[in-house]
Chains A and B, each alone.
Chain A
Amino acid sequence: MKFLVVDDSLTMRRIIINALQRIGYTEAVEAADGEEALSRFDSSIGFIITDWNMPSMNGVDFARAVRATPSGQSVPILMVTTRGAKEDIVHAVEAGVNNYILKPFTPSVLKEKIDRLLAGIGAAA
């Protein structure tokens, strides 16, 4: 499965990709903001992990844009962010985000969320 990892922090992208490798997912492409991610998104992407606060296009707008594409209707989108306010979470859900992880996170939490989304459980959108 190919992951699309979107975060304006190079450190965070490397941490997420390292965590994915630990849980067995070795194929990933990166993007530094929503616009770049949208250009890299295609039908080969099986899972999206995105940050919220990014320049050019933030994670919520990116999620909304993905959902508007033919191949983006059902791809799982997991948001990994520092935004913990309830209204932010609700806003993300309404944009098409399937689940949410707050930074700082542990690899075990990442694995749990990915497993649940791939099993079709815990997807709110």
Chain B
Amino acid sequence: MRPPQELLYDSEASLRLVDHAIEELSASGAELDREARGFLEHVMSQPGGFAELSRTLLRAYAETVGIVIRMRESSGMLDGAGIEKLEQMHGRLNEVSEATETATTGILDGMARAIALTEKFDDITSLSEAERKQMTASLREELSGVVNHLQFQDITSQQLRHIANLLADMRQRISQVVAIFAPAASFQKTDASAPVPIDPAVTELIGGDLQAVADEIFAIRTERKTA
């Protein structure tokens, strides 16, 4: 057993070491920043003291968990169906591009043939009546063909409307995600017009196959009706 005087000397030395360490920390500027110090002073001044601090930390933990859950939900909003819609948009934009090019080429070709016919007008008096009629009919046919090519406008218009609807849907999803992280932010809805119905399967590339299906259905129905 050590003598009491010796224990006292050791304790005094230990306390001097601690005091010296604290002075060194203060001197190096490693102090708590004002906000944290103020917070601790506030906590210590509360009736519950550090118990209040633990409640505060629990609340912060719960809010952090809530944020993580919302982040998981937001990722779901942009997955799956959202990506599929983006792929749809890409496909339809390609179709629009193809259709407009095809129609434009048809128009240019028709106009070229029509112009070639008009170049014969200078010699029209040398043509027989039958030849004149043939030339007129050919010219009418070419110009009507040009007009017919303009059907692409209606079909591509429907495609673009469908894309606009898809974009509106994506916009809605993104605004929901934004609302999670910035509830004060909001996107004003700009399009107040009623949506025009569209055919989701519309395409310039319908071709003759679907018309044949339609003709078959009507033929069967007509046979049943007359039978």
Q: A interface vs B, CB < 8 Å?
A: 7-9, 11-12, 14-15, 18-19, 22, 52-55, 58, 81-86, 89-90, 93, 99-107, 109, 121-124
Contacts and interface: CB of A to CB of B under 8 A. Distances in A.
A93 B204 CA distance: 24
B152 A85 contact: no
A9 B222 contact: no
A8 B218 contact: no
A122 B215 CA distance: 9
Given A100-B218, A103-B155, A82 B206 contact: yes
B50 to A, nearest CB: 67
Q: Is the interface of B mostly helix, strand, loop or mixed?
A: helix
Nearest first, the 8 closest Cβ-Cβ pairs linking A and B are A84-B210, A124-B221, A104-B151, A9-B154, A82-B202, A100-B214, A124-B218, A12-B154
B213 to A, nearest CB: 6
Interface of B: 140, 144, 147-148, 150-155, 157-158, 194, 196-199, 201-204, 206, 210-211, 213-215, 217-219, 221-222, 225
Contact of A19 (B144, B154, B217, B225): B144
Given A12-B153, A18-B148, A82-B158, 12 more contacts: A22-B144, A53-B197, A82-B201, A86-B213, A89-B214, A89-B217, A102-B211, A102-B214, A103-B154, A103-B206, A104-B155, A124-B222
Contacts of B155: 82, 103-104
A53 B201 contact: no
A86 B222 contact: no
A10 B214 CA distance: 25
Contact of A104 (B199, B206, B213, B214): B206
Contacts of A86: 213, 217
A98 B202 CA distance: 22
A56 B180 CA distance: 37
10 contacts: A53-B158, A53-B196, A82-B155, A82-B203, A86-B213, A100-B215, A103-B206, A106-B148, A123-B225, A124-B218
Nearest to B211: A102
A124 B213 CA distance: 14
B197 A109 contact: no
